[in-house]
Amino acid sequence: MNPDDLYYTQSHEWVRIDGDTGTIGITEHAQKELGEIVYLELPEVGHFYNSDEEFGTVESVKAVSELFIPISGEIVEINKAAVDEPGIVNDDPFGDGWLVKVKLTTDEEVKKLMSAEAYAEYVQAEEKEK
Amino acid sequence: MKFLPTSDADRASMLAAIGVSSVDDLFASIPASVRIAPDLPPPMSEIEIRRLFGGMSSRNAHARDSAFFLGAGVYNHYVSAIADQMLYRAEWLTSYTPYQPEVSQGTLQSIFEFQTHMCLLTGMDVANASLYEGASALVEALLMADRLVRNRRKAVLSLGIHPEYRETVTTYFQNLGLDVVEVPLGSDGRTDGAALSAAVDETTFAVAVQSPNFRGVIEDWKVGTEAAHAKGAMAVAVIAEAASLALLAPPGEAGADIACGEAQSLGVPMHNGGPLLGFLACRTAHQRQIPGRLVGQTSDAEGRRAFCLTLSTREQHIRREKATSNICTNQGLMALASNIHMSLLGRKGLREVALQSHAKAEYLKAAIAKVPGYRLPDSAPTFNEFVVEGPGPAAPLLSRLARGGILGGVALSRWSPKDERAFVIAVTEMNTRAEMDRLAAALAGSEGAAGPDESDRRLS
Amino acid sequence: MSVETDPSTVSTEGKASGRGDRLHPEPRHEPLVFERSGPGKIGYSLPPLDVPEALAIPPALVRGEIEGETEISEVEVARHFTRLSRLNFSIDEALYPLGSCTMKHNPRTNEEMARLPGFAASHPLAPEEVSQGTLELAWRLEQMLIELTGLSRVTLQPAAGAQGELAGILMVRAALAKEGNPRKTVLIPDSAHGTNPASAHFAGYKVKELKSNARGTLDLHVLEEAMTEDVAALMLTVPNTLGIFEDRILEIARIVHAKGGYLYCDGANFNSFVGVAKPGAMGIDVMHMNLHKTFSTPHGGGGPGSGPVAVVPRLVPFLPRPTIERRADGGFFLDFDRPESIGRLRTFLGNYGMFVRALSYIAAYGNRIGEVARGAVLNANYIRAGLTGVYHLKYDAPSMHEVVFSDKKQAEKGVHNGDIGKRLMDYGFHPPTISFPLIVHGALMIEPTETEGKPGLDAFIAAMRAIAREVEEDPRIVLDAPHTTPVKRVDEVGAARNLILRWSPGGRPDTPDPVR
């Protein structure tokens, strides 16, 4: 269920690389764990983040989770539709429910991220710990 | 023991079900060396408790047996009998925080109504479900301002803010890397506007002014809001005598970003200073940073209007050390009492209470101004409280009056040793003209000259 | 077990309690008080003004009418609040097993005492010579709490447990700072209540979380490793939030003290050992108590609380200002002259009305107060015995006053702890605490307290067992619960997505006035 063309983090974000643009969102597993999302706090366009920095929060009724940027870059777009209607992130986390787009600075960082397969194994291991 | 419903037979069968032979066995994980019974007196019956507590109660002067003029943050206002008697209902008294909305709609709706009353009175958009009391409400307001105006470290506070509120701010700020600058009052008793503006700069996250201030003087909220907004800081309006909100221009109209303080005056007995009723209200734009509990309107699975706690992800049980505040409880029962009170008095009654308090205070001011040796140092308008300077130290004078059945005011020397001769007098709708005449006469040294209380004659 | 469910005693349709009887149908909806308002109605009376009218305030500082405020009669107010009250569940109705909240019976003697005029109508700034009774009562309560904790002094000032935590950690910080180094970190087990880390943060400390061991208690090796000279305190809930007593408390104290740290006890669960064991003897240096838990002051729909803090002698100089002292002649006074005090956490003496109630409660028990803890622990273990095997018990160390099950078995059928809680409402009980402590996924935290008798416990156990059976046979009835409450499942997501936090004047009531 995790698309093969994305890269994944241990904090359950994904990034899609398209030229020098990275589109970032949270995974299906993350939206399921959070439950129905009620609020997104996203950064302003123009802000620059180094990889692993917190760039926003996502809130459900019972939980709040920080968002960590998988790759360094400047925010070039935020998903206004998702801010207005956070349920989109629940419904389509890998598609219409994307969160931000960044302008990439380097191709090196994606190498540290997980493939869909590695992420699926990671999630399974995490589940077992409960 | 009358609060324990377990019979000997039940206990035996419960122990058998658990599989132990005595209750002591269940405490085996506590090291024997620390299992020490307390050295306390034997249990007291209800009759003995009434006797003991009645005795202690009788050793206090209070508002029902004295001519009462104490204020300074706690006020003796009218509370209807029903506002207290309603609190005895078990469904209000013995329920907990309404985490489960399906069995807590009463508490939730009452809090929603309380939030609405506080918005109407303060002119703000959003109010929370209450906070501990006024001083910690100010702390929470300042911390909220700090979150809204990031990377600034300085709060500018008027010295007209209640001294115990300011001391509380200092306690909370000492380890958070936040600074407080205090701005003095002018000679008329109002915050020195020029000094306030001068103290506010690009490092200031909040400017807080209290009205009526600790000396009872009415401030113009704009002094604080304009000083704050000129430098991009949050304007915090502090209210310690919430009865004033029905008469004075509300902070919301003057552009305050946060209004906070003490709502004890609105239906909560004095309780020797606690429980009181802290409140905090703000603008819609800032509602996600509001501390404490919030009730929101929603619907149930069948589409009926219903209420529930909302925005709870700000709270510590979810955010832990990242929480907006470490507070947990609100003052639920006091907020209920206040909701009942405000609902009963409403549009007309709240205003009449404020008008009577003000008119009576003006009467007493005029009477005391005529007493030789006494003066009113503040020339600016006051609401229902005012400072008096006497010919000698205030504390012994007030003690002497108290022994004669007059609680004549609060000496400022507790907080400000240099103001040794000053005391602050509060007047409310509860005070009669005769009481006020008696206080003035007592100050003039001829106590009792005014004769019996006029109100006593009305029935005869 | 003697508590096998008799299907005839527990209806799955109706409810076990007497809340919705036919003569007084369950209230379903009550308009807002603002929607009851109408011009010309009045709900108060004031005496005529006995002084000349006066308005000595500049017009610019005077407001107009309070738009939207009510005009309503006392009769309508009485009905409104009575009807609203009936939408609440309360302890006086039935078992309220909200874990870590200690929902015990609230004796009405306490309410009567708190309303004596010398307490309820007294003012905190009245001269000392006419306040001897109020001071004596607070002083007496402090003496009782000193005896019960085995510690040296107590501040009554904190308004609630969380403020008590902050006061306690601030005192630790002040003591360490005086020795030259306030240190940087506070250790907190992962089972702790969220207020602990929040309080440590507000006292200026970084928080280091300690992972619990497989028994659900503190791992001494983990503690030893984490306990450096950079650590100011360990904040330990005793017994912990799993209801498990740290049986190696004496070693824990030794490890903390060996590095010059302080052992802070979150006393939210004091109800499980009050009168049986003394925290002071365990090596605890500072401890807050919740008068609204252990000492029976009412929860009142979420407050007021009261959170006194007891300390060892070396923390006494740092107590909040003022303290209550007794002179040689027996007179009481407030001592503000405490130069090393951490200052003040709020106005005046604290939630004084709660002091009255708590002292009344302690007086009623006297030297038999250990029966509180004995009853609480007996009841929790009885529930544990009745539900073991039916619900999953992640940690099976001995339980004190509460037991934490989980929904692990039921989750396999798609039913979660929240659903089980909602279904309990149909059986006439309040749900347990759910989703806490965080280290138990799907937690059901059950605290019956000592004021529940065997019949009530049996009914609760029967209800929990019946729900477990429903999960097996017909999970839908649990997933759609509650069915019998004044409102059905409330849309909390909708509330958070579309915030409506007040009524507004001019806004039309969105639901019709019910015919009543």
**Contact call for residues B404 and B447 (beta carbons, < 8 A):** yes
Tell me how close the Cα of B300 comes to any Cα of chain A, in angstroms.
16
- Residue C404 main-chain phi, psi, to 5 deg: -110, 105
- H-assigned helices in C232-336: 249-258
> Percentage of chain B with pLDDT > 90?
91
Report, as an integer, the average pLDDT of C84-98. Answer: 96
Cis peptide before C448 (omega within 30 of 0): no
Q: Cα B326 to chain center, whole Å?
A: 19
- Pairwise pLDDT comparison (B94 vs C510), residue with the higher score: B94
Report, as an integer, the average pLDDT of A43-71. Answer: 92
Task: Look up residue B125 and give its two tokens.
Answer: 């958009």
Best residue of C42, C84, C395, C510 to probe chain B, by most B CBs closer than 10 Å:
C84
Residue type, C459: A
> Percentage of chain C with pLDDT > 90?
91
Report, as an integer, the average pLDDT of C448-477. Answer: 98
Tell me how close the Cα of C480 comes to any Cα of chain A, in angstroms.
18
pLDDT at B318: 64
Best residue of A61, A62, A67 to probe chain B, by most B CBs closer than 10 Å:
A61
Is residue B370 classed exposed, middle or buried when 0-12, 13-18 and 19+ CB atoms within 10 A define those classes? exposed
**Contact call for residues C182 and C175 (beta carbons, < 8 A):** no
Scan for tokens 């409960």, then name that residue: A130
Provide, as residue numbers in chain A, all residues whose Cβ is less than 8 Å from the Cβ of B318: 62-64
pLDDT digits (tens, 9 = 90+) for C425-444: 999 999 999 978 989 999 99
**Closest chain C residue by Cα to residue B167:** C344
pLDDT at B330: 82
**Contact call for residues A66 and A40 (beta carbons, < 8 A):** no
Scan for tokens 């701010």, then name that residue: B169
Provide, as residue numbers in chain C, all residues whose Cβ is less than 8 Å from the Cβ of A36: 493
- H-assigned helices in B99-220: 105-122, 134-148, 163-173, 193-199
C-beta atoms of C497 and A62 within 8 A: no
Provide, as residue numbers in chain A, all residues whose Cβ is less than 8 Å from the Cβ of C496: 38-39, 59, 61
- H-assigned helices in B177-243: 193-199, 221-230
Bridge pairing between strands B154-158 and B179-183: parallel
Picking from B33, B72, B106, the nearest residue to C125 by CB comes out as B72
C-beta atoms of C347 and B276 within 8 A: yes
Q: Which residues of C434-458 are buried (b: 16+ CB within 10 A; e: fewer)?
A: bbbbbbbbbbbbbbbbbbbbbebbb
pLDDT digits (tens, 9 = 90+) for C360-416: 999 999 999 999 999 999 999 999 999 999 999 999 999 999 999 999 999 999 999
Rounded distance between C-alpha atoms, residue C150 and residue C147, angstroms: 5
Best residue of C493, C498, C499 to probe chain A, by most A CBs closer than 10 Å:
C493
For chain C, say whether A16 makes contact (Cβ under 8 Å). Answer: no
pLDDT at C17: 41
Best residue of C211, C490, C497 to probe chain A, by most A CBs closer than 10 Å:
C497
Provide, as residue numbers in chain B, all residues whose Cβ is less than 8 Å from the Cβ of A64: 313, 318-319
Residue type, B258: I
Task: Look up residue C6 and give its two tokens.
Answer: 């008799």
Tell me how close the Cα of C432 comes to any Cα of chain A, in angstroms.
16
Please choose, from the candidates B207, B269, B248, the residue with its C-alpha nearest in 3D space to the C-alpha of residue B123: B248
Please choose, from the candidates C320, C309, C326, the residue with its C-alpha nearest in 3D space to the C-alpha of residue C154: C309
**Contact call for residues C45 and B349 (beta carbons, < 8 A):** no
Q: Which residues pair with C73 in a beta bridge?
A: none
Residue pairs between chains B and C whose CB atoms are closer than 8 Å: 716
C-beta atoms of A59 and B313 within 8 A: yes
Scan for tokens 């005012």, then name that residue: B386
**In terms of residues, how long is chain B?**
460
Q: Give yes or no for residue C511 having a pLDDT over 90.
A: no
Rounded distance between C-alpha atoms, residue B313 and residue B323, angstroms: 8
Neighbours of chain A (3+ CB pairs under 8 A): B, C
Residue type, C25: P
**Closest chain C residue by Cα to residue B102:** C487
**Contact call for residues C251 and C123 (beta carbons, < 8 A):** no
For chain A, say whether C493 makes contact (Cβ under 8 Å). Answer: yes
pLDDT band at C27 (very low <50, low <70, confident <90, very high): low
C-beta atoms of A36 and C493 within 8 A: yes
Task: Look up residue A42 and give its two tokens.
Answer: 């996203």
Rounded distance between C-alpha atoms, residue C509 and residue B344, angstroms: 20
Which C residues in the span 411-450 are in contact with A, Cβ-Cβ below 8 Å?
Answer: 435, 441
Provide, as residue numbers in chain B, all residues whose Cβ is less than 8 Å from the Cβ of C134: 56, 60, 272
Q: Give yes or no for residue C252 having a pLDDT over 50.
A: yes
- Pairwise pLDDT comparison (A51 vs A106), residue with the higher score: A51
Please name the residues in contact with B397: beta carbons below 8 A apart, sequence gap of 6 or more: B390, B408, B423
Q: Give yes or no for residue C22 having a pLDDT over 50.
A: no
Rounded distance between C-alpha atoms, residue B157 and residue B436, angstroms: 34
Report, as an integer, the average pLDDT of A84-109. Answer: 93
pLDDT at C436: 86
**Contact call for residues C326 and C332 (beta carbons, < 8 A):** yes
Report, as an integer, the average pLDDT of B291-308. Answer: 95
Picking from C441, C496, C497, the nearest residue to A130 by CB comes out as C441
**In terms of residues, how long is chain A?**
130
Please choose, from the candidates C400, C423, C376, the residue with its C-alpha nearest in 3D space to the C-alpha of residue C249: C400
pLDDT at C13: 39
Rounded distance between C-alpha atoms, residue C463 and residue B254, angstroms: 56
pLDDT band at B328 (very low <50, low <70, confident <90, very high): low
> Percentage of chain C with pLDDT > 70?
93
Neighbours of chain B (3+ CB pairs under 8 A): A, C
pLDDT at C12: 38
Report, as an integer, the average pLDDT of B166-189. Answer: 96
pLDDT digits (tens, 9 = 90+) for C304-360: 999 999 999 999 999 999 999 999 999 999 999 999 999 999 999 999 999 999 999
- H-assigned helices in C86-206: 108-114, 117-120, 132-149, 161-178, 195-202
Provide, as residue numbers in chain B, all residues whose Cβ is less than 8 Å from the Cβ of C326: none
Q: Which residues of C52-68 are buried (b: 16+ CB within 10 A; e: fewer)?
A: eebeebeeebebeebeb
**Closest chain C residue by Cα to residue A36:** C493
Provide, as residue numbers in chain B, all residues whose Cβ is less than 8 Å from the Cβ of C352: 271-275
C-beta atoms of A39 and C493 within 8 A: no
Mean pLDDT of chain C: 93
pLDDT digits (tens, 9 = 90+) for C223-237: 999 999 999 999 999
C-beta atoms of C454 and B50 within 8 A: no
C-beta atoms of B318 and A64 within 8 A: yes
- Pairwise pLDDT comparison (B113 vs B453), residue with the higher score: B113
Provide, as residue numbers in chain C, all residues whose Cβ is less than 8 Å from the Cβ of A61: 492-493, 496
Rounded distance between C-alpha atoms, residue B99 and residue B292, angstroms: 14
Task: Look up residue C262 and give its two tokens.
Answer: 């302080």
Q: Give yes or no for residue A129 having a pLDDT over 90.
A: no
Best residue of A36, A57, A89 to probe chain C, by most C CBs closer than 10 Å:
A36
DSSP string, C412-458: TTT--HHHHHHHHHHTT----EES-STTSTTEEEE---TT--HHHHH
Please choose, from the candidates B165, B342, B133, the residue with its C-alpha nearest in 3D space to the C-alpha of residue C305: B133
Please choose, from the candidates C507, C174, C154, C516, the residue with its C-alpha nearest in 3D space to the C-alpha of residue C318: C174
**Closest chain C residue by Cα to residue A39:** C497
Task: Look up residue B57 and give its two tokens.
Answer: 């109660």
Which B residues in the span 301-330 are in contact with A, Cβ-Cβ below 8 Å?
Answer: 312-313, 318-319
**Closest chain A residue by Cα to residue C494:** A38
pLDDT digits (tens, 9 = 90+) for B358-387: 999 999 999 999 999 999 999 999 999 999
For chain C, say whether A89 makes contact (Cβ under 8 Å). Answer: no
Report, as an integer, the average pLDDT of C40-54. Answer: 97
> How many CA atoms, within 13 angstroms, populate the side-chain half-sphere of residue C348?
28
Rounded distance between C-alpha atoms, residue C278 and residue C285, angstroms: 12
C-beta atoms of B102 and C482 within 8 A: yes
Picking from B92, B111, B329, the nearest residue to C85 by CB comes out as B92
Q: What is the pTM of this model?
A: 0.94
Q: Give yes or no for residue A118 having a pLDDT over 70.
A: yes
Please name the residues in contact with A47: beta carbons below 8 A apart, sequence gap of 6 or more: A55, A74, A75
Q: Is B297 helix (H, G, I), strand (E, B) or coil?
A: strand
Reported as type and span, the H/E element at residue B154 is strand B154-158
pLDDT digits (tens, 9 = 90+) for B251-280: 999 999 999 999 999 999 999 999 999 999
Tell me how close the Cα of A67 comes to any Cα of chain C, in angstroms.
19
Q: Which residues pair with C446 in a beta bridge?
A: C98, C403
Q: Give yes or no for residue C515 having a pLDDT over 80.
A: no
Scan for tokens 């643009």, then name that residue: A21
Q: Rounded to the nearest 10 degrees, what angle do helices C74-85 and B105-122 cross at? A: 130
Q: Sign (positive/negative) of CA torsion B416, B417, B418, B420?
A: positive
Mean pLDDT of chain B: 94
CA end-to-end span of chain A: 22
Provide, as residue numbers in chain C, all residues whose Cβ is less than 8 Å from the Cβ of B409: none
pLDDT at C86: 95
pLDDT at B460: 39
Provide, as residue numbers in chain A, all residues whose Cβ is less than 8 Å from the Cβ of C492: 61
Report, as an integer, the average pLDDT of C107-120. Answer: 98
Residue type, C303: G
C-beta atoms of A61 and B312 within 8 A: yes
**Contact call for residues B297 and B112 (beta carbons, < 8 A):** yes
**Closest chain A residue by Cα to residue B323:** A64
